């Protein structure tokens, strides 16, 4: 799933909150493009997007099926 990232921490946090709030949608991996997947780490995403301003889009992935 692709999220176009805004350079505002509050907006990014709200978007991540939505996915994390329901176990069925909680991401297990993330990346800055379709070919990169690393273990999901909310703090790392915020650091790369907001503090370092090196990531401009975030792809969230889930390796578990939804029942």
pLDDT 10s digits, 18-55: 999 999 999 999 998 889 999 999 999 998 888 877 77
- Domain boundaries, position 32: 2-61
Pick the more confident residue, 34 or 5.
34
- Decide if 31 is inside a domain: yes
- pTM above threshold 0.75: yes
**What six digits make up the tokens of 57?**
């889009």
- Decide if 43 is inside a domain: yes
DSSP 3-state percent helix, strand, coil across the chain (nearest 5): 35, 20, 50
What total of structural domains would you count in the chain?
1
Rounded CA-CA distance 21/60 in Å is 14
Rounded CA-CA distance 2/61 in Å is 9
- Decide if 66 is inside a domain: no
**What six digits make up the tokens of 51?**
């503090």
């Amino acid at each position: 799933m692709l999220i176009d990232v805004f350079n505002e921490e509050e907006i990014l946090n709200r978007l991540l909150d939505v996915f994390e709030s329901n176990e069925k949608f909680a991401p297990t991996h993330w990346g800055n493009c379709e070919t990169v997947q690393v273990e999901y780490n909310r703090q790392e995403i915020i650091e790369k997007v907001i503090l370092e301003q090196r990531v401009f889009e975030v792809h969230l992935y889930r390796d578990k099926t939804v029942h």
